[in-house]
């Protein structure tokens, strides 16, 4: 019997190669509703059409992380089918909003390869771009993954690993469309605005969330992400973890939803500076979140929004009380995400 | 680390105070689809657009209980974040239908406060109103909850508890929009119409439904309801029940969906006279429903619909055979709901 | 207490009788989104609106199997409420595409009855038709089920069982609307086209999927399918299987989604020649799929698509390696489905 679509092993990636990923995907209000049910997000701009219109948008923009997951999902069959680990993200910039009815496509360029010392695997670094049906860039980010080799004795490619920006500098952010001068803080749930946040401040978001198999699988299939580790419990039995791994992006979306408490006026995501899935999450785990304000940046000619650089940390199974003293190197940490968000100014 | 949005304790509520709740929410056909998947409802008016149009509606109205849950969900962060129990509902009246594209907001007035004898908690009674983007009232109801005090030694407020109507009198119902003279009973699934129901009659709806963690959490997040008891299994371990409590409204929607068998032509909800979550429901429970006809009322100038007052009772884990002799005080009862529905006349 | 809507027992079916099923159902993009989350389908025509438009469709057609399940679901309360087993399908033909906004209704004709030797049950065969709001036929298929008798001593009806076509002959297929000459194989994920497939070829689709209670129940309620065996775990405890049975159609949709790997350009379903739910599936099972090419047919005046007759086989709990030698009579097989699909040519 024929095995279909094996996907690329480490030695199949060529530096500089561009891969156009399959299956463009039209997003609808239905996708947003399923996403709502999965994470319980409450940010005003994505929740209320009249308020989005008041800010100059034609409709509620689709949640930025839903957009990210859709783009990410397209890259999986080509990039990470034989990945052992998703190692990191960098230089992620959100360019333009997406609305119900838009169609997303994705393309990736191979920008780095390095074989591991054991010759059994190697690291592949790609820059992926999502664009809409008008070929407008929506999102661009770098990720790197550890990918199995097909054969340990196949020759190692020449090592090339670009040096990436640790942080997207504020000048490289794409200022958000729309005008937030008419933003309704009461409707958004808080008057905490850009000027109220201090660098170094940390806040606990409250709200533990226990994870379920059905939920992370619904999410991952919604994103057309086909990575088998999320779906096949039988195959996972023989692995180190012995159970299905939850797609890391599922945790990013939970972190964003939790961060509503404290960042009610963080209307959009501006950039993904970096992120680490420090440890895997499994069904049955209960996750909690806290955030730290890493930096702030005003944007030229915009008095309505500023950029807030946040570290979102998710921990698991520790109980919410433990968060008061939680540090990023706590063994309970599962996600350490560094991003810029657009925060409304008073 | 800072704790965000603590929510109101008992002593934070002021009689007569009005609270505008955060995050208006635009509903879409996507929300109705998720709702359909959660409860399996089959009422014609909400299921078929051409039949809704034949009755003079511009589209399928969104399920009344979905609307209720959305409004209810908005009140949770302000009213019941520190609630120990949701004690009851009264004087609930559905004013106008909601369609995909409408945006719901909610506001509550504190109409009653009474400290408990133990000084550790008190009862807060609120009248909540949901309105749409045109400031049209959609729904208004009273509920009362037991809320923790922040400190037992803080002074007790003056007790004030209004006397509520036991039942919404038929004259106070808002006659449904539309015209049901062209209602298609064959398409609706039954010819049992208003005149066929007798006061005192009881009927078993058939159909046990086993509850799942993933499902009630999807529902509760869809409603943007943030009550932690539904989500955080770890925190619940130290409570009396030792597990996640299912949002009571989830059970109301199951009761409504089950009641299709017998009340196929109950096209809309008219009023919520009262309701008690007699006992909590948990994942793994199997629930069954029966209903009793408590009253009937004809409506001035309307030959197409009448009001039927129903008691919906949900029981758990008893098997369907036990329903034949089931009484409202049966220990298996978890929900005892008293509402008026609009029933099509022949 | 009154038992509502008992449904038909074997002796209630009359040969030649036509049953108009209740509750027409308007489908929306929300339904497609929930379906996407349930199965993770990636076929281009259903995923991307611009690509559907390029083929002459006004929008993405709704997944054919979602349409099938909706029509099937309508027939359940009338046909299979007291079914012991769903025995088979035949002569299923997909006539026309369905789009978001369309409303589906269903009608069935009783075309066969035969009492079983034990006089406790009998076989009922029906031809069901789904049509849209313009009374256009969407789908027509035959299925037969074993239905309980109300009383063993009630008289047996005269046996009549029509002889059905083993396969829908290619001339009876309804050539798909649209024009696939502009089909974008790169966007669809593969260049394997009609001419690349050989009769007798078998392929493993990869991708095990572990089944969850919440997921199959969400699916089955989405389809307004009310068969109690899928929902009531308590009642199932006393049955042979001791747990909820998964709706067979849920497995058909998983088989279709898996078959993307290998049949990326199989844009639409043409016919359901036959199908057997060889064994039940339960939550916790992990399923895998392989397919065999049974036949090919060119269609008059169409150079853009051809018909490919496929056998989709689903197996459970064997691990993907076991599929290499899997035969249709393997004890792990749970679904053996024979259908025609429309495959894009070069």
pLDDT in tens, B227-272: 999 999 999 999 999 999 999 999 999 999 999 999 999 999 999 9
Residue B338 to residues B213, B281, B309, C254, Cα–Cα distance (Å)? 27, 19, 7, 41
Does B201 score more than 70 pLDDT? yes
Contacts of C142 (CB under 8 A, 6+ apart): C89, C90, C91, C92, C111, C125, C126, C127, C128, C164
Tell me the two tokens of residue C326.
């899997």
Whole-number pLDDT of residue C31: 98
Residue A314 to residues A243, A340, B113, Cα–Cα distance (Å)? 20, 17, 38
Report yes or no: B140 and B93 within 8 Å, Cβ to Cβ: yes
pLDDT band at residue B169 using 50, 70 and 90 as cut-offs = very high
CB-based contact A217 C212, cutoff 8 Å: yes
Measure B78 CA to nearest chain A CA, in Å.
10
What's the sign of the alpha-carbon dihedral A45, A47, A51, A57? Answer: positive
Section C292-310 average pLDDT? 97
pLDDT digits (tens, 9 = 90+) for B91-131: 999 999 999 999 999 999 999 999 999 999 999 999 999 99
A213 neighbourhood in chain B, CB within 8 Å: 214
Of chain B, the percentage scoring pLDDT greater than 70 comes to: 100
B/e letters for C37-67, b = 16+ CB within 10 Å, e = fewer, are bbbbbbbbbbbbbbbbebbebeebbbbbbbb
pLDDT band at residue C5 using 50, 70 and 90 as cut-offs = low
C17: nearest Cα among C98, C95, C134, C109: C109
Q: How many CB atoms lie within 10 A of CB A240?
A: 6
B222 neighbourhood in chain A, CB within 8 Å: 33, 36-37, 40
DSSP annotation of C240? S
Whole-number pLDDT of residue C24: 98
Of C4, C34, C232, the CB nearest to B204: C4
Measure C184 CA to nearest chain A CA, in Å.
10
Distance, in Å, from the CA atom of A80 to the CA atom of A110, rounded to the nearest integer, reads: 12
Residue C119 to residues A129, A344, C150, Cα–Cα distance (Å)? 66, 74, 10
C280's torsion region: left (phi>0), alpha (psi -120 to 50) or beta?
beta
CB-based contact C210 A221, cutoff 8 Å: no
Nearest CA in chain C to B288: C232
Helices (H), B183-341: 185-188, 213-222, 233-236, 248-258
B77 neighbourhood in chain A, CB within 8 Å: 189
Whole-number pLDDT of residue C139: 98
Nearest CA in chain B to C3: B204
pLDDT band at residue B42 using 50, 70 and 90 as cut-offs = very high
pLDDT band at residue A206 using 50, 70 and 90 as cut-offs = confident
Tokens 């079916």 locate to: C13
Mutate to test the interface with B, among A28, A35, A36, A203 (most CBs of B within 10 A): A36
A317 neighbourhood in chain B, CB within 8 Å: 234
Measure C65 CA to nearest chain A CA, in Å.
17
C93: nearest Cα among C73, C57, C68, C113: C68
Measure C310 CA to nearest chain A CA, in Å.
15
Whole-number pLDDT of residue C86: 87
CB-based contact A214 B214, cutoff 8 Å: yes
Section B213-220 average pLDDT? 98
pLDDT digits (tens, 9 = 90+) for C144-167: 999 999 998 999 999 999 999 999
Tell me the two tokens of residue A207.
């709200």
Distance, in Å, from the CA atom of A249 to the CA atom of A257, rounded to the nearest integer, reads: 12
Contacts of A321 (CB under 8 A, 6+ apart): none
Q: How many CB atoms lie within 10 A of CB A239?
A: 11
Q: Which subunits count as partners of chain C given 3+ CB pairs below 8 Å?
A: A, B
A132 neighbourhood in chain C, CB within 8 Å: none
pLDDT band at residue B85 using 50, 70 and 90 as cut-offs = confident
pLDDT digits (tens, 9 = 90+) for B128-166: 999 999 999 999 999 999 999 999 899 999 999 999 999
Distance, in Å, from the CA atom of B122 to the CA atom of B14, rounded to the nearest integer, reads: 12
Measure B196 CA to nearest chain C CA, in Å.
13
C320 neighbourhood in chain A, CB within 8 Å: 232, 235
Angle (nearest 5°) at CA B244 between B242 and B248: 125
C234 neighbourhood in chain B, CB within 8 Å: 208, 210, 286, 317, 319
CB-based contact B217 A213, cutoff 8 Å: no
Whole-number pLDDT of residue B82: 86
pLDDT digits (tens, 9 = 90+) for A220-279: 999 999 999 999 999 999 999 999 999 999 999 999 999 999 999 999 999 999 999 999
Residue C225 to residues B209, B302, C246, C295, Cα–Cα distance (Å)? 13, 34, 12, 33
Whole-number pLDDT of residue B5: 67
Distance, in Å, from the CA atom of B145 to the CA atom of C72, rounded to the nearest integer, reads: 44
H/E element, B65: helix B64-75
Does B285 score more than 90 pLDDT? yes
C27: nearest Cα among C81, C109, C102, C115: C102
Section A15-39 average pLDDT? 98
Backbone angles phi, psi at C329, to 5 degrees: -95, 15
Report yes or no: A339 and A90 within 8 Å, Cβ to Cβ: no
What is the average pLDDT value for chain C, to the nearest integer? 96
End-to-end CA distance of chain A: 64
What's the sign of the alpha-carbon dihedral B276, B278, B279, B285? Answer: negative
Angle separating helix axes C213-222 and C29-39, nearest 10 degrees: 150
Whole-number pLDDT of residue C259: 97
DSSP annotation of C158? P
What's the sign of the alpha-carbon dihedral C265, C269, C271, C272? Answer: positive
Whole-number pLDDT of residue B62: 98
Section C218-240 average pLDDT? 95
Of A48, A205, A286, the CB nearest to B26: A48
Contacts of A27 (CB under 8 A, 6+ apart): A62, A66, A67, A70, A98, A100, A101, A102, A103, A104
CB-based contact C34 A31, cutoff 8 Å: no
Report yes or no: B17 and B107 within 8 Å, Cβ to Cβ: no
Report yes or no: B234 and A208 within 8 Å, Cβ to Cβ: yes
Residue C7 to residues B321, B322, C125, C239, C324, Cα–Cα distance (Å)? 17, 20, 16, 20, 44
A133 neighbourhood in chain C, CB within 8 Å: 49-50
What is the average pLDDT value for chain B, to the nearest integer? 96
Q: Which string of DSSP letters, residue by residue, matches A308-338?
A: EEEEEEEEESS-GGGGGG--TT-TTEEEEEE
Q: Are strands A2-3 and C202-204 parallel, antiparallel or unpaired?
A: parallel
Distance, in Å, from the CA atom of B42 to the CA atom of B261, rounded to the nearest integer, reads: 9
**Which segments of chain A are extended strands (E)?**
2-3, 18-20, 25-26, 83-94, 103-115, 121-131, 137-148, 202-204, 209-210, 266-277, 286-299, 302-316, 333-344
H/E element, C64: helix C64-75
A283: nearest Cα among A211, A209, A335, A229: A211
Report yes or no: A308 and A293 within 8 Å, Cβ to Cβ: yes
Q: Which subunits count as partners of chain B given 3+ CB pairs below 8 Å?
A: A, C
A106: nearest Cα among A219, A174, A22: A22
B/e letters for C199-236, b = 16+ CB within 10 Å, e = fewer, are eeebbbbbbbbbbbbbbbbbbbbbbbbbbbbbbbbbbb
DSSP annotation of C62? P
B334: nearest Cα among B300, B292, B288: B288
CB-based contact A22 C213, cutoff 8 Å: no
Quote ipTM for the complex.
0.97
B/e letters for B49-61, b = 16+ CB within 10 Å, e = fewer, are bbbbebbebeebb
Nearest CA in chain B to A189: B22
Of B1, B101, B221, the CB nearest to A36: B221
Nearest CA in chain C to B190: C22
pLDDT digits (tens, 9 = 90+) for C90-145: 999 999 999 999 999 999 999 999 999 999 999 999 999 999 999 999 999 999 99
C231 neighbourhood in chain B, CB within 8 Å: 207-210
Tell me the two tokens of residue B54.
């034949």
Exposed, middle or buried, B274 (CB in 10 Å: 0-12/13-18/19+)?
A: buried
CA dihedral A206, A212, A215, A220 (to 10 degrees): 100
Angle separating helix axes B213-222 and B64-75, nearest 10 degrees: 80
Does C84 score more than 90 pLDDT? no
Section C29-43 average pLDDT? 98
Nearest CA in chain A to C31: A30
Whole-number pLDDT of residue A200: 97
Does B314 score more than 80 pLDDT? yes
Distance, in Å, from the CA atom of A294 to the CA atom of C216, rounded to the nearest integer, reads: 44
H/E element, A66: helix A64-75
pLDDT band at residue C3 using 50, 70 and 90 as cut-offs = confident
Tell me the two tokens of residue A62.
């689709």
pLDDT digits (tens, 9 = 90+) for A42-77: 999 999 999 999 999 999 999 999 999 999 999 999
């Amino acid at each position: 019997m024929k095995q279909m679509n094996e996907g690329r092993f480490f030695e199949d990636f060529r530096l500089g190669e561009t891969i156009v990923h399959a299956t463009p995907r039209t997003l609808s209000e239905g996708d947003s509703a399923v996403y709502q049910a999965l994470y319980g997000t409450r940010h005003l701009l994505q929740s209320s059409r009249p308020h989005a219109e008041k800010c100059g948008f034609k409709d509620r923009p689709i949640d930025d992380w839903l957009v990210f997951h859709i783009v990410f999902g397209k890259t999986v069959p080509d990039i990470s089918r034989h990945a052992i680990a998703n190692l990191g993200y960098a230089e992620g910039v959100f360019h333009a909003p997406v609305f119900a009815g838009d169609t997303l496509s994705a393309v990736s360029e191979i920008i780095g390869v390095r074989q591991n010392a054991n010759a059994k695997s190697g690291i592949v670094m790609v820059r992926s771009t999502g664009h809409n049906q008008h070929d407008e860039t929506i999102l661009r980010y770098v990720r790197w993954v550890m990918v199995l080799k097909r054969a340990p004795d196949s020759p190692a490619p020449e090592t090339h690993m670009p040096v990436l920006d640790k942080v997207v500098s504020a000048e490289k952010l794409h200022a958000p469309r729309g005008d937030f001068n008419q933003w309704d803080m009461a409707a958004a749930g808080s008057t905490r605005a850009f000027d109220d946040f201090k660098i170094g401040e940390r806040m606990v978001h409250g709200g533990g969330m226990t994870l379920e198999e059905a939920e992370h699988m619904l999410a991952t299939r919604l994103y057309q992400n086909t990575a088998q580790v999320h779906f096949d419990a039988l195959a996972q039995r023989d692995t180190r973890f012995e159970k299905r791994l939850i797609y890391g992006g599922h945790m990013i979306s939970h972190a964003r939803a939790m961060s509503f408490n404290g960042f009610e006026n963080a209307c959009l995501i501006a950039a993904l500076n970096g992120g680490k899935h420090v440890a895997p999450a499994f069904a049955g785990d209960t996750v909690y979140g806290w955030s730290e304000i890493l930096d702030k940046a005003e944007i030229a000619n915009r008095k309505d929004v500023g950029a807030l650089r946040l570290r979102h940390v998710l921990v698991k199974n520790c109980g919410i009380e433990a968060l008061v003293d939680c540090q990023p190197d706590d063994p309970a940490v599962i996600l350490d995400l560094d991003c810029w968000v657009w925060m409304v100014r008073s």
